[in-house]
Amino acid sequence: MNKRFIQKYRKYIIPGSVIVGALVLLFSLLTGYYYIFLNTSRVKKGTEITFVVNKGDGVRKISSDLKNQGIISQDLTFMVYLKLSGLSSSIQAGDYKLSGTMSPLTVADILTKGKVDSKRITIPEGWTVDQIGTYLENQGVTSKADFIAATEKHYDYAFLADKPADASLEGYLFPDTYQISATATADEVVKTMLDNFDRKLTPDLRAAIAGSGRNIFQTVTLASIVEREVSKPEDRKVVAGVFINRLNIDMPLESCATIQYILKSNEQRFSYEQTQVDSPYNTYIHKGLPVGPIGDPGIDSIEAVLYPQNTDYYYFFSADGVTYYSKTLEEHEAKIAEYLK
């Protein structure tokens, strides 16, 4: 730039210090604007709503939905913040409890950390579909009727391939503690439990089942009986061995747990008449396994069936928390007379 040009247009040239100062001022204003926006809630008072983020929702749609539902005041500003901070890909799908009283920074934290609106439920080992349904209804998760109906639907899992078409999912709803969405449907709850069963039934366990001479359905059926008969891990392996010994000689299992299931009873002792109740689940009058599981076994009972303790026992009973085993009927009856006075 020559001297004549500079002299001619000197009054139009903005000093570099002024440009830098303007840029600094602009940056400060933008920074201040973002700080105020991110830390200021839209309203002082408001009610929570359920905000749903579906899988595949982009940051533009999520920001727009937040504005339209009254959670934030500026969707574009919120979207820019998420992109500049590298959080736009961290938003997790789920149901969230949000309110316009929350600052955008709080909203972003909730969405990107997956702090979904959920309920904690605990399903104990051995519970039946009926018991689980009652519990879920009492917890306000879903109605018992809807849950039972959901267990009678078809689900595409490899481990269900040998389940009879007319059988429910009794035995496959893995007992555990779950965090589920507060708006989860009965179908979604069932699928969560089946997903867990799929994970817990490891490749090693599936290989053990394949080599046991029983399929998954039969394994789960026997494990469900073991689960309800005894509670101690060391007893489960012995009792599993007792039942397998009986199956091997075509001797009825005579499991009181199956009578409990039929009568929906928690009693430990049953009369002769009760043991003769007409049901395909009655192992007193029918040899072999019942027509299906009588509850949902935990992993210990499944492993007990796959890795039973080999003994010469064909009889057992429990009294005062202790399980007694016998090789012969005479020995069994003598122990009953001694310990069940």
pLDDT at 11: 53
pLDDT at 95: 85
3-state SS class at 98: strand
Supply the range of the domain harboring residue 94.
Answer: 44-112
Comparing 77 with 295, the larger pLDDT belongs to 295
Alpha-carbon distances, residue 30 vs 16, 24, 35, 81, 241 (angstroms): 21, 10, 8, 12, 74
* Whole-number Å distance between alpha carbons of 294 and 253: 14
Residue 318 backbone dihedrals phi, psi, to 5 degrees = -120, 140
**pLDDT single digits (tens) 202-223:** 999 999 999 999 999 999 999 9
Taking residue 11's Cβ as centre, other Cβ atoms within 10 Å add up to 6
Q: Determine the distance from the C-alpha atom of residue 177 to the mean position of all C-alpha atoms in its chain, rounded to a whole number.
A: 7
pLDDT at 212: 95
- Do 312 and 227 reside in the same domain of the chain? yes
- Do 230 and 321 reside in the same domain of the chain? yes
Mean pLDDT, the chain, whole residue set:
89
Minimum mean pLDDT among 135-139, 192-196, 337-341: which range? Answer: 337-341
pLDDT at 3 over 70: no
64, 85, 112 - which closes a domain: 112
Alpha-carbon distances, residue 59 vs 9, 88, 111, 112 (angstroms): 48, 6, 11, 11
Rounded to 5°, angle at Cα 323 from 321 and 327: 170
- Do 224 and 320 reside in the same domain of the chain? yes
- Do 297 and 195 reside in the same domain of the chain? no
- Do 237 and 335 reside in the same domain of the chain? yes
- Do 101 and 152 reside in the same domain of the chain? no
- Do 309 and 233 reside in the same domain of the chain? yes
- Do 93 and 133 reside in the same domain of the chain? no
* Whole-number Å distance between alpha carbons of 245 and 249: 7
- Do 289 and 308 reside in the same domain of the chain? yes
Please say whether the beta carbons of 182 and 117 come within 8 A. Answer: yes
- Whether residue 25 is contained in a domain is answered as no
Would the pTM of this model clear 0.85, i.e. be above it? no
Mean pLDDT to the nearest integer, 307-336: 94
- Do 89 and 53 reside in the same domain of the chain? yes
* Whole-number Å distance between alpha carbons of 101 and 128: 43
Contacts of 216 (CB under 8 A, 6+ apart): 159, 161, 162, 163, 201, 206, 209
Whichever domain contains 65, its CATH number is 3.30.1490.480
**pLDDT single digits (tens) 253-271:** 999 999 999 999 888 888 9
Instruction: Count up the domains in the chain and report the number.
Output: 3
Contacts of 191 (CB under 8 A, 6+ apart): 155
* Whole-number Å distance between alpha carbons of 98 and 105: 12
Whichever domain contains 143, its CATH number is 3.30.1490
- Do 89 and 150 reside in the same domain of the chain? no
Alpha-carbon distances, residue 185 vs 97, 147, 155 (angstroms): 17, 9, 15
* 62 pLDDT tier (thresholds 50, 70, 90): very high
- Do 175 and 129 reside in the same domain of the chain? yes
- Whether residue 91 is contained in a domain is answered as yes
Closest Cα to residue 120, out of 37, 198, 181?
A: 181
**pLDDT single digits (tens) 95-141:** 888 999 999 999 999 999 888 888 889 999 999 999 999 999 999 99
